[in-house]
């Protein structure tokens, strides 16, 4: 019991330094654990009726949340510099693991002597503690990819609350899909990742100015998250139509109402993002387990995606 209290105090300090409230995390974990388990079950099903329900909720909820959080959701694809979408993301998939000498690597802290003993007593080296630290690093990789201007320039997207949130979900799906390949251990890791994601979204919504009825907004965004994940999984099934993934990406990320069809200016960007998503799936599958669980990987570069010669 004493060790657990020390562990709780220590993790509280660590998580607070990352913007997380440990006591809140402990109380919310069972709920999000059930949610994550439900998510994985839903992701393995091809339930068309469920997908329709989720898409209906998503199209309505997005309109409300985006209107409250961002006044500018209209996109103008003609304003951006020309990007050669038809040349993007055709290169052969490769591992996304960081090289051993990469400055972006995050290594586990190594303590010796009495400090090592104390930290061991505080369960710093426990599997759960390592998973929490690893999930924090993984989510920082996701947020970094989504917050960079490069991803909006690459796909001719306006940076609004809706597009940022939609891109967060897309990259969460990429990571959760990869984690499922590692079975139960991956599912457990995904639970920690999902809780960190959810807390970050709550902070983003608050920062956008939605302070009243925050719980209500979060419930709407949770439904959108589930709906998008189910739709992405279904679009990747072997029996899915070739245009299924581009259609889902258009509805979830590019379209304001989820119903209209992409115009000529947007169609190229949608197809390019579909190739990007498929390629990242393959790249993550080629990335070793240790790199995934420690967060020592990076998504494909989008800094200059005008030709297929770049990685990504």
Cα–Cα distances in angstroms (integers) from residue 70 to residues 57, 63, 128, 154, 205, in the given order:
19, 10, 37, 22, 10
Report the alpha-carbon distance of residue 258 to residue 271 in Å, rounded. 16
Average pLDDT, the chain: 77
Report the alpha-carbon distance of residue 231 to residue 166 in Å, rounded. 13
Tokens 């609004």 correspond to 160
With bands split at pLDDT 50, 70 and 90, how would you rate the model's confidence at 132? very high
pLDDT at 293 (0 to 100): 97
Nearest CA-CA partner of 255 in 156, 163, 170: 163
What H or E segment, with its residue span, contains residue 264? helix 264-285
pLDDT, tens digit (0-9, with 9 covering 90-100), for 167-183: 999 999 999 999 999 99
Report the alpha-carbon distance of residue 190 to residue 131 in Å, rounded. 9
Chain centroid to CA 28 = 19
Cα–Cα distances in angstroms (integers) from residue 288 to residues 41, 233, 268, 291, 299, in the given order:
24, 22, 32, 6, 14
pLDDT, tens digit (0-9, with 9 covering 90-100), for 264-296: 778 999 999 999 999 999 999 999 999 999 999
User: In this prediction, what percent of the chain has a pLDDT beyond 70?
Assistant: 68
pLDDT, tens digit (0-9, with 9 covering 90-100), for 8-43: 444 444 444 444 444 444 444 444 444 444 444 444
pTM given for the model: 0.74
pLDDT, tens digit (0-9, with 9 covering 90-100), for 52-74: 433 434 444 444 555 555 543 34
pLDDT at 125 (0 to 100): 81
pLDDT at 24 (0 to 100): 43
pLDDT at 217 (0 to 100): 79
Report whether 167 contacts 147 (CB < 8 A): no
Greatest mean pLDDT among 61-65, 78-82, 141-145, 255-259 lies in 141-145
Cα torsion 140, 145, 147, 151 to 10°: value is 180
With bands split at pLDDT 50, 70 and 90, how would you rate the model's confidence at 308? low
With bands split at pLDDT 50, 70 and 90, how would you rate the model's confidence at 249? very high
pLDDT at 304 (0 to 100): 63
pLDDT at 116 (0 to 100): 78
Cα–Cα distances in angstroms (integers) from residue 44 to residues 12, 178, 186, 202, in the given order:
35, 13, 15, 27
Report whether 146 contacts 164 (CB < 8 A): yes
pLDDT at 298 (0 to 100): 96
With bands split at pLDDT 50, 70 and 90, how would you rate the model's confidence at 258? low
């Amino acid at each position: 019991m004493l060790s657990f209290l020390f562990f709780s105090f220590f993790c509280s300090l660590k998580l607070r330094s990352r913007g997380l409230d440990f006591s809140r995390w402990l109380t919310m974990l069972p709920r999000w654990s059930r949610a994550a388990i439900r998510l994985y079950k839903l992701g393995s099903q091809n339930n068309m009726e469920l997908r329709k329900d989720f898409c209906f909720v998503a199209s309505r909820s997005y309109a409300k949340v985006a209107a409250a959080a961002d006044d500018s959701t209209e996109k103008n694809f003609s304003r951006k510099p020309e990007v050669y979408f038809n040349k993007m993301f055709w290169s052969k998939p490769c591992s996304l693991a960081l090289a051993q000498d990469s400055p972006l690597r995050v290594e586990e802290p190594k303590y010796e002597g009495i400090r090592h003993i104390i930290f061991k007593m505080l369960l710093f080296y426990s599997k759960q503690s390592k998973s929490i630290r690893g999930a924090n690093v993984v989510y920082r990789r996701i947020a970094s990819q989504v917050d960079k201007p490069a991803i909006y320039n690459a796909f001719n997207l306006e940076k609004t609350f809706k597009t940022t949130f939609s891109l967060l979900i897309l990259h969460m799906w990429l990571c959760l899909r990869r984690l499922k390949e590692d079975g139960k251990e991956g599912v457990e890791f995904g639970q920690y990742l999902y809780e960190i994601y959810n807390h970050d979204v709550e902070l983003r919504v608050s920062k956008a100015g939605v302070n009243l009825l925050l719980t209500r907004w979060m419930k709407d965004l949770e439904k959108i998250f589930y709906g998008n994940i189910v739709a992405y999984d279904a679009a990747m099934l072997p029996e899915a139509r070739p245009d299924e993934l581009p259609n889902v990406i258009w509805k979830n990320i590019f379209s304001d109402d989820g119903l209209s069809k992409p115009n000529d200016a947007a169609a190229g960007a949608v197809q390019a993002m579909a190739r990007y998503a498929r390629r990242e799936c393959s790249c993550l599958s080629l990335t070793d387990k240790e790199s995934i669980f420690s967060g020592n990987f990076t998504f494909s570069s989008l800094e200059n995606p005008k030709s297929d010669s770049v990685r990504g």
